[in-house]
């Protein structure tokens, strides 16, 4: 079973990297691009028959993201 | 070296070793280099180009990537084809791999952390104009200061580098031992510096410009003196 | 103006007391609107107004022959000759770093660098002073990781070497870590920029990152005691962008080459509010700001948010009206947003407009001048620990091993490897190579020594004496690195000043700094205060961190922890063996008593003696001050750094070797000497106590007839704690 | 229109960060977790009526990923 955890900055938090990427793309001539949001994902492979969702949730909260500035979202792949 | 030569240092927003490099070049090569802003669309005739260390464009995305989109980088690619010697140090090396003038890629250090320390480089190949004045197997003491200096290349790429004598520097001990204990960042085969097939583009992670003063190692002087001979 | 209802809850949420609110009404002659309330609240917050400490800070000695600019500006400035001046300051980012260690620490470094380059200086070195909780506390590891990485990534990216600092663990910091960052810059004495607004009609220019909703109320947060819910509050942490900082640094320095700028100030705590207020108030003028002109990162930001945002990497400047184009061109070249957002007026008012409507109008002088100033009550804490009589002293060898491998005295290599210390090519000595970091002044034959110090254990027991010792230690560190100490910056980290015992600590510590600095002719030129470092009523140890700077007139005077085979080892200063509160006692769980006494006459005599030896003879090979851990730890550190052994013979007159080895008597140095006869001769002439104690020899740390440990062993035990701790 | 671009390391390239996370998770006691792959994603907002897929492909190849070490995948959100 594979869980995918998405982590990205909360809305309103400055993401200087996304800003720099957007500027670069614009300067490369891709005019219609209006916004870029950046994030990370983790594919976590779990070898168990149990439902492991709540554990993944805990890992996401404690380790993979910082709740002060980031949100996460888990999907089962 | 005959007459006044023209050496250029390209400055990207976020470059931060440009001054250090300028001082070192001036001191060891006897030429005050020209500083070229990254927005330069046409670089006139120049005898040698340096890409300095630092964090061009904040190292955002991948170190060196965004700098490949600057007009000056397009000029560097054009001039490299004409045989102009080009040297990239640290972030400069990362830019050169990102714009494909050099093979491989520089990924995050093995230990994940930024690392600043003294390292020793072994000259493992001097069959090129840059290093022909340095002895084979001689050891140079330059510091490193980077978080993405882990040189990566696949098997076949590595074989090509080896076959073409493109690997020039390897991390070693003070006495020249090349092994995992003397590999500061996880680079394949301890590779610290390579050149292109045509042997006019050189990239290395350690900082020779930080090894030319009284208070540091002085091995950088040998390095710059060696490359002075080629122009 | 729109009328919001200002409820008492709203007033409370803004951290204002009822008396303070009455004062506001008196100043305005009416009730404030919400925006105005917000402005008052940040301007009168502890962080911006120093209301609990101002009375005491005023007593610090701030003048000296080399002082160009004392407290009151963005940073202090000292003269180091030939038109060179050094700009420096220390600042805390404690609360943000606890919530988000990486960003909190990074933005702390960014903020202090802006304070320095605002004045026209190029930063040349960063240092940091860190305190964490007990290593076994589950949060400590990640806080340590995040803070160190944050400091490194920011300074490394901007390209300023991080060359030193300190890191200390104690459980009192479990929920309130301390992250104090110090920045030192170099400026041409004739090209210093200040923050005094001048010239009616002159444009006010905003430059740097776009304003977002970051850290609104950050300044009030930095002044409020934590409660356990803090981590759930809305995000108040700002994200740093070192890349923009680098562009700001270069563009400002480029602009400063000509004379376009009249006044300049970074937007630090309380952002646009405090920067515009402070500039106008210093220049006795008014300002008009058009807030819709402020570049915003998010849609629909309201004046309240724009004025209170703490988005990083922004500057405010007043320029000559005919230099607008040139100014904008420079910022454009560096890819930065620069906009004219207002004008200087002669009304003495701060008038804020938004979409052509006036949204606030506040009198500047009265607001600044009547900022509350408190003389809070204080009370000496009752001493709990009675004196104990020790019958059998713990084993010295085992104790030394414990000390060398303890978190507080292990090598900090894991930390400083993450900092680029060699960029700019002027670093002569950085972390652990010498008692103070030594940075050459580019293109000259002189250098400066820089250090930060504090002994919170001493401060807890006796805040005045502890602060005096911290100042003296920084002084000694500078002398031992070859410098002539010039001035300090301080960062006063304490708990809740509304508690009498804490207020006592604050007052006493400031008294101690005052006394030590006066005696040593070592003025305070800048500083910062961080209060309310307290969670659920558990306050931190009083931690007044001292950042000292000294001048090394010639590079040849630079000293470090160096040894040479065959050289003799001496102690300068009198050893009497004060063990109370020493590391030796702490490591053996013997906590009682008071710190060692300090005699400033001897401090000065011994310091001047070493300065003279360094400057007038060639006999000093290396030196190290004696502080925590006494002679024993000082010598061990010399051996570890120079990778050489020593043979030490404890002078016969001392009947208790443990006291001799680990006593922490003040005003002492260990020196490694080439010509012992000459040393003795000068010492005799100058009436200085010196003792020959051994020789650099062999491959072990050998205290004859007592114990011996091989060099390899002590190096190993000293180098592994951090790596082991952080492995998992 | 929003395109999402996923970028991750090619197989065989050791990702020290993913490795470290895996170790930490295991040491925290989450035994069944057998593998972790880490990657980045970019949500690119495009304001156009044209089909912009091929442009996004070009951006992904030229900028967002380095073909020497990384793969990318684009989906329309
Ligand atoms: N403990 C202190 N000792 C001496 N000066 C201090 C102290 N705390 C603050 N100052 C001075 O007060 C002024 C305001 O400091 P601060 O509010 O930290 O500035 P900033 O607005 O740049 O953050 C500065 O000039 C600073 O040097
Ligand atoms: Mg300031």
How do residues D43-54 score in pLDDT, each as one tens digit?
999 998 889 999
| Whether B190 contacts B152, CB under 8 Å | no
Question: Is the CB of C269 within 6 Å of ligand 1?
Answer: yes
pLDDT of residue C385: 65
C559: left (phi over 0), alpha (psi -120 to 50) or beta: beta
pLDDT of residue A14: 87
C19: Cβ contacts below 8 Å, ≥ 6 apart: C372
| Whether B152 contacts D68, CB under 8 Å | yes
pLDDT of residue C225: 54
Whole-prediction pTM: 0.94
Which B residues 116-175 touch D at CB under 8 Å? 150, 152-154
What confidence category does residue C205 fall into, taking pLDDT thresholds of 50, 70 and 90?
very high
Chain D contacts of A55, Cβ < 8 Å? 30
B17 as an active site residue: the answer is no
Q: What range defines the domain where residue D30 resides?
A: 2-76
Domains and CATH numbers, chain B: 7-228 (3.40.50.880)
The DSSP code for A60 is: I
Give dist(CA C187, CA C68) in Å, integer: 12
CA D38 to each of CA A41, A57, C149, D9, D35: distance values in angstroms, whole numbers, following the listed order:
6, 17, 20, 8, 10
B212–chain C nearest CA distance, Å: 9
pLDDT of residue C234: 40
Question: Is the CB of C492 within 6 Å of ligand 1?
Answer: yes
Ligand 2 centroid to Cα of residue C266, in Å, is: 5
Q: What is the pLDDT of residues B114-139, one digit of tens each?
A: 999 999 999 999 999 999 999 999 99
Residue of chain D with shortest Cα separation from C726: D24
Q: What is the mean pLDDT of each run of 10 residues along chain B (231 residues)?
A: 81 97 96 96 94 97 96 97 97 97 95 95 95 95 97 96 97 97 97 97 98 90 92 82
CA C60 to chain centroid: 17
Task: Give the count of Cβ contacts less than 8 A between chain A and D.
Answer: 90
Ligand 2 centroid to Cα of residue B58, in Å, is: 24
**pLDDT of C645 strictly over 80:** yes
Task: Write the residue in D16, D64, D66 that is nearest to B110 by C-beta.
Answer: D16
CB contact under 8 A, A17 and B57: no
B207: Cβ contacts below 8 Å, ≥ 6 apart: B17, B20, B53, B89, B90, B142, B143, B144, B145, B220, C422
Ligand 1 centroid to Cα of residue C73, in Å, is: 8
Q: What is the pLDDT of residues C90-123, one digit of tens each?
A: 999 999 999 999 999 999 999 999 999 999 999 9
Mutate to test the interface with C, among A8, A9, A10, A14 (most CBs of C within 10 A): A14
Which residue, by CA, sits nearest to atom 24 of ligand 1? C72
The DSSP code for C298 is: S
pLDDT of residue B229: 85
A37–chain B nearest CA distance, Å: 13
Atom number, ligand 1, closest to the C-alpha of residue C524: 4
CB contact under 8 A, B115 and C417: yes
CB contact under 8 A, D17 and B108: yes
B32's tokens: 């005050």
Question: Is the CB of C717 within 6 Å of ligand 1?
Answer: no
pLDDT of residue C553: 97
Question: Is the CB of C523 within 6 Å of ligand 1?
Answer: no
Chain A contacts of C99, Cβ < 8 Å? 68
A11–chain C nearest CA distance, Å: 10
Give dist(CA C366, CA C450) in Å, integer: 39
A66–chain B nearest CA distance, Å: 19
CB contact under 8 A, D16 and B111: yes
Chains that touch B (3 or more CB pairs under 8 A): A, C, D
Residue position matching structure tokens 């870590």: C177
Task: Write the residue in A16, A27, A28 that is nearest to B58 by C-beta.
Answer: A16
Chain C contacts of A9, Cβ < 8 Å? 239
Ligand 1 centroid to Cα of residue C48, in Å, is: 9
C409 as an active site residue: the answer is no
Which residue, by CA, sits nearest to atom 7 of ligand 1? C527
Q: How many CB atoms lie within 10 A of CB D58?
A: 12
D28 interfaces chain C, CB cutoff of 8 Å: no
D30 interfaces chain A, CB cutoff of 8 Å: yes
Ligand 1 centroid to Cα of residue A13, in Å, is: 28
Ligand 1 centroid to Cα of residue C633, in Å, is: 35
pLDDT of residue C78: 98
Residue of chain D with shortest Cα separation from C728: D24
Give dist(CA C414, CA C606) in Å, integer: 34
**pLDDT of C314 strictly over 60:** yes
Beta strand C122-132 pairing with C162-169:
parallel
Atom number, ligand 1, closest to the C-alpha of residue C526: 27
Torsion (CA) B5, B10, B15, B17 in degrees, nearest 10: -10
D27–chain C nearest CA distance, Å: 8
Residue of chain C with shortest Cα separation from B113: C418
Task: Write the residue in D41, D43, D48 that is nearest to A32 by C-beta.
Answer: D48
pLDDT of residue A56: 95
Give dist(CA A42, CA A2) in Å, integer: 10
Which of the residues C14, C47, C429, C578 is marked catalytic? C47
CA A43 to chain centroid: 11
pLDDT of residue B119: 97
Task: Write the residue in A25, A41, A44 that is nearest to D33 by C-beta.
Answer: A44
Residue position matching structure tokens 């929920």: C175
pLDDT of residue C384: 65
Ligand 2 centroid to Cα of residue C724, in Å, is: 39
CB contact under 8 A, C235 and A16: no
Note the ipTM here.
0.93
The structural domain count of chain A equals 1
A29 interfaces chain D, CB cutoff of 8 Å: no
Burial class (CB in 10 A: 0-12, 13-18, 19+), C366: middle
Give dist(CA C669, CA C634) in Å, integer: 9
Ligand 1 centroid to Cα of residue C570, in Å, is: 41
Question: Is the CB of C588 within 6 Å of ligand 1?
Answer: no
Chain D contacts of B69, Cβ < 8 Å? 63
| Whether C137 contacts C376, CB under 8 Å | no
Which B residues 49-108 touch D at CB under 8 Å? 61-62, 65-66, 69, 97-98, 103-105, 107-108
How high does pLDDT run on average in chain C? 93
CATH code of the domain in which D37 resides: 3.30.1280.10
What ligand is nearest to the CA atom of residue C223?
Answer: 1
Atom number, ligand 1, closest to the C-alpha of residue C491: 1
pLDDT of residue C217: 66
pLDDT of residue C227: 45
B95: Cβ contacts below 8 Å, ≥ 6 apart: B12, B51, B56, B64, B67, B68, B73, B88
Largest CA distance in chain D: 51
B221–chain C nearest CA distance, Å: 14
């Amino acid at each position: 079973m594979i869980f995918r955890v998405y982590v990205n900055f909360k809305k309103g938090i400055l993401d200087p990297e996304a800003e720099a990427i957007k500027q670069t793309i614009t300067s490369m001539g891709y005019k219609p691009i209006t916004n870029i949001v950046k994030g990370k994902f983790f594919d976590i492979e779990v070898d168990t028959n149990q439902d492991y969702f709540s554990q993944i949730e805990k890992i996401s909260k404690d380790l993979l993201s910082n709740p002060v500035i980031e949100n996460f979202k888990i999907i089962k792949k | 070296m005959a007459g006044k030569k023209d050496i250029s240092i390209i400055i990207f927003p976020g470059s931060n070793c440009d001054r250090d490099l300028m001082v070192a070049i001036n001191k060891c090569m006897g030429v005050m280099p020209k500083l070229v802003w990254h927005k330069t669309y046409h670089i006139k005739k120049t005898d040698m180009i340096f890409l300095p260390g630092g964090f061009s464009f904040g190292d955002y995305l991948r170190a060196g990537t965004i700098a490949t989109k600057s007009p000056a980088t397009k000029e560097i690619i054009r001039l490299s084809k004409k045989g102009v010697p080009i040297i990239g140090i640290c972030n400069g090396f990362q830019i050169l791999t990102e714009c494909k003038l050099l093979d491989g890629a520089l990924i995050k250090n093995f230990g994940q952390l930024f690392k600043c320390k003294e390292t020793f480089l072994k000259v493992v190949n001097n069959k090129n104009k840059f290093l022909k004045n340095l002895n084979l197997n001689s050891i140079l003491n330059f510091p490193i200061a980077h978080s993405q200096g882990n040189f990566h290349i696949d098997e076949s790429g590595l074989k090509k580098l080896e076959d073409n004598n493109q690997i020039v520097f390897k991390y070693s001990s003070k006495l020249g031992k090349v092994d995992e204990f003397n590999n500061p960042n996880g680079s394949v085969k301890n590779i610290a510096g390579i050149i292109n097939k045509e042997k006019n583009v050189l990239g290395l992670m350690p900082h020779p410009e930080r090894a030319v003063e009284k208070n540091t190692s002085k091995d950088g002087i040998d390095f710059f003196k060696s490359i002075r001979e080629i122009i | 103006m729109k009328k919001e209802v200002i409820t008492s809850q709203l007033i409370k949420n803004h951290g204002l007391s009822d008396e303070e609110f009455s004062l506001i009404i008196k100043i305005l002659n009416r009730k404030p609107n919400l925006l105005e309330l917000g402005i008052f609240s940040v301007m009168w917050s502890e962080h911006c107004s120093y209301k609990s400490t101002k009375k005491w800070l005023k007593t610090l000695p701030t003048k000296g022959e080399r002082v160009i600019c004392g407290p009151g500006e963005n940073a202090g400035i000292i003269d180091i000759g030939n038109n060179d001046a050094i700009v420096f300051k220390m600042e805390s980012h404690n609360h943000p770093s606890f919530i988000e260690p990486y960003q909190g620490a990074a933005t702390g470094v960014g903020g202090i660098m802006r304070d320095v380059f605002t004045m026209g200086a190029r930063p040349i070195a960063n240092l940091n002073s860190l305190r964490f909780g007990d290593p076994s506390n589950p949060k400590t590891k990640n806080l340590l990781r995040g803070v160190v990485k944050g400091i490194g990534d920011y300074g490394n990216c901007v390209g300023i070497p991080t060359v030193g600092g300190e890191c200390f663990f104690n459980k009192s910091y479990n929920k309130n870590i301390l992250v104090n960052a110090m920045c030192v810059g170099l400026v041409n004495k004739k090209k210093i920029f200040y923050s005094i607004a001048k010239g009616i009609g002159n444009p006010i220019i905003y430059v740097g990152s776009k304003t977002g909703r970051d850290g609104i109320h950050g300044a009030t947060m930095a002044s409020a005691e934590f409660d356990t819910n803090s981590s759930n509050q809305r995000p108040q942490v700002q994200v740093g962008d070192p890349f923009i900082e680098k562009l700001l640094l270069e563009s400002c320095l480029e602009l400063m080459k000509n004379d376009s700028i009249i006044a300049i100030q970074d937007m630090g705590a309380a952002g646009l509010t405090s920067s515009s207020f402070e500039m106008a108030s210093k220049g006795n003028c008014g300002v008009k700001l058009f807030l819709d002109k402020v570049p915003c990162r998010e849609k629909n930001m309201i004046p309240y948010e724009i004025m209170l945002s703490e988005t990083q990497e922004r500057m405010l400047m007043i320029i000559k009206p005919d230099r607008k184009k040139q100014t904008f061109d420079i910022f454009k070249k560096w890819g930065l947003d620069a906009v004219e957002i207002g004008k200087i007026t002669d009304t003495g008012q701060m008038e804020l407009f938004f979409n052509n409507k006036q949204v606030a109008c506040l009198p500047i002088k009265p607001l600044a001048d009547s900022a509350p100033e408190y003389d809070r009550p204080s009370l000496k804490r009752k001493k709990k620990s009675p004196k104990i009589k020790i019958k059998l002293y713990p084993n010295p060898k085992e104790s030394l091993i414990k000390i060398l491998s303890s978190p507080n005295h292990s090598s900090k290599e894991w930390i400083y490897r993450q900092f680029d210390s060699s960029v700019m090519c002027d670093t002569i000595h950085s972390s652990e190579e010498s008692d103070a970091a030594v940075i050459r002044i580019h293109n000259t034959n002189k250098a400066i020594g820089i250090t930060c110090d504090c002994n919170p254990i001493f401060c807890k027991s006796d805040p005045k004496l502890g602060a005096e010792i911290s100042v003296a230690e920084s002084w000694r560190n500078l002398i031992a690195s070859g410098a002539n100490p010039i001035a300090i910056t301080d960062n006063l980290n304490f708990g809740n000043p509304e508690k009498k015992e804490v207020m006592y600590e604050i007052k006493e510590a400031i008294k101690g700094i005052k006394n030590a600095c006066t005696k040593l002719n070592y003025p305070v030129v800048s500083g910062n205060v961080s209060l309310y470092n307290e969670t659920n009523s558990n306050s931190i140890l009083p931690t007044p961190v001292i950042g000292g700077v000294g001048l090394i007139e010639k590079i040849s005077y630079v000293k470090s922890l160096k040894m040479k085979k065959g050289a003799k080892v001496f102690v300068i200063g009198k050893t009497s063996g004060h063990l109370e509160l020493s590391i030796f006692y702490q490591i053996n769980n013997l906590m009682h008593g008071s710190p060692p006494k300090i005699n400033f006459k001897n401090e000065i005599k011994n310091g001047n003696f070493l300065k003279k030896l360094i400057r007038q003879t060639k006999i000093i090979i290396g030196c190290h001050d004696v502080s925590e851990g006494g002679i024993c730890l000082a010598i061990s550190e010399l051996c570890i750094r120079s990778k050489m052994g020593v043979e030490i013979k404890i002078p016969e007159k001392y009947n208790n070797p443990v006291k001799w080895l680990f006593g922490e008597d003040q005003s002492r140095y260990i020196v490694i000497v080439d010509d012992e006869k000459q040393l003795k001769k000068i010492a005799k002439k100058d009436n200085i106590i010196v003792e020959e104690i051994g020789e650099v020899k062999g491959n072990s740390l050998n205290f004859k007839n007592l114990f011996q440990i091989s060099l390899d062993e002590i190096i190993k035990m000293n180098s592994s704690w951090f790596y082991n701790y952080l492995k998992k």
